[in-house]
Structure 1
Amino acid sequence: MPSEKPARRKPRQVRAELTRDRILNAAAHIFTEYGYAAGTTNRIAERARVSIGSLYQYFPNKDAILAELVLNHIDEGGADTPITDSPDRDLETVLRLFVRKTIDNHRADPRLLRLMLEEAPLSPDLLTKIIRYSHKRIAQLKHVLATHPEVRVTDLDMAARLIENTVELVTHKLMAESVEAQRLENELVAMLSRYLRG
């Protein structure tokens, strides 16, 4: 009996994904250049080189486009990637890896980050994704804190929540204000190290 060949992706599906990506990239540029209010779907379609009708086949409105950009931003954060791959690393190194990864995920255009922070429509799907992402990172942090010999805090659940929220929110806000990434990293690591060591 001949073995089955794996199904090949249809060119139409590939073209659809490429068109969708073009629309999202165009939207990121338009929102950055014109702001959210003036970043119309017509401008996005023109920049993406698609008809307005084609754009609406992928996204019902610009709120949906911005929400998708936020979801992509969250996915790029890689909540499934372990914070550290070695239990022997000192606490400062572990924290630096966590902080640097968060900062690296916020190196996009500052104006686009600000739009995501201030104007993204919070649909149920988006809220669910944000909560799931946050819970994964908190669980990772709690495991690291529970097994690291330098950690002196006693409420590990609250400590993990404080660290995750502090690093994410502060990084999002300050990177949107174009602060120097290395300075932000150093100060966050110093602050968190002092807190965890008691």
Structure 2
Amino acid sequence: MRKQPRQARSIATVEAIIEAGAHVLSEFGWAGFSTNKVAEAAGVSIGSLYQYFPDKLALVEAIRRRHFDHVLSVIREAATDEKPLRQFARELVRGMIGAHSIHPTLHQVLLDEAPGDRGSRAAHASFQARYLEHYAAAVAQYRKRRKDTETMARVLSSAVEGVIHNAARRNMLDAPELQKQLVELISAYVSGGKAA
């Protein structure tokens, strides 16, 4: 980001630009993504956009980081308050589906189409590390005597991520049966097959 917003109005402008950027990127993919389209969708001048983002790659990085932060907050919130396992699973599924329903194709575009630089690779590596830490902490709550919580966290996060991303690609995120089965999968895996 070229300039950090300080006042409420400039913060709102940056948020509008990032949200419009996510919408444009999700709708048109990387090939159709342009700062002019984003500025128009955000209702700001192209000059205002360039005041904060030097180019479209910087804007994509801001979109990417916001998505990462949203996903991390979902996991963190689901894992708070030593709640029953099934409740954790329901909240995790609901939150992950919500995070991926805002712009269903965004994640795929960010991973498969939008270019990144060393900074984006570092941000993704940092996200992955924190992502697994949150899953490991959640698993540890329910599997207190297990030594392999890190491996379980990797398997669980990959399973949840795979189901969510495939459902997003197929426009099935709102399918109640998919949500129910994902809750069952999480509960059964974390409990070791015991009734959760």
- TM bucket (normalised to shorter chain) is 0.7 to 0.9
Deviation, 1:132, is 3.9
Q: Is 1:82–1:140's contact at 8 Å kept on the other side of the alignment?
A: no
State the Cα deviation string for residues 32-67 of structure 1 (Å, max 9, x = none): 333321221122223323332331221122222222
Moved more, 114-123 or 19-28: 114-123
- Paired residue for 2:141? 144
Q: Is 1:74–1:133's contact at 8 Å kept on the other side of the alignment?
A: no
Change (3 A) 1:136 1:187: same
Which among 15, 33, 42 is matched to residue 36 of structure 2? Answer: 42
- Paired residue for 2:170? 177
Q: Is 1:113–1:176's contact at 8 Å kept on the other side of the alignment?
A: no
Deviation, 1:168, is 2.3
Deviation, 1:171, is 1.0
| Whole-Å separation in 1 of the counterparts to 2:36 and 2:11 | 20
Q: Show structure 2 runs of 5+ residues with no match.
A: none
2:167 aligned with 1:162, yes or no? no
**Where do 1:124-139 residues align within 5 Å?**
124-139=121-136
- Paired residue for 1:62? 56
RMSD, aligned CA: 2.8
TM-score by length of 1: 0.75
- Paired residue for 1:74? 68
TM-score by length of 2: 0.76
Deviation, 1:170, is 2.5
Identity %: 34
Paired AA for residue 185 in structure 1: Q
Q: Show structure 1 runs of 5+ residues with no match.
A: 1-10
- Paired residue for 1:86? 82
Moved more, 26-35 or 162-171: 26-35
Q: Is 1:145–1:156's contact at 8 Å kept on the other side of the alignment?
A: no
Moved more, 34-43 or 123-132: 123-132
| Whole-Å separation in 2 of the counterparts to 1:184 and 1:43 | 35
Change (3 A) 1:18 1:94: closer
Change (3 A) 1:74 1:61: same
Whichever of the two has the greater Rg, that structure is 1
Change (3 A) 1:27 1:186: same
Q: Is 1:145–1:160's contact at 8 Å kept on the other side of the alignment?
A: no
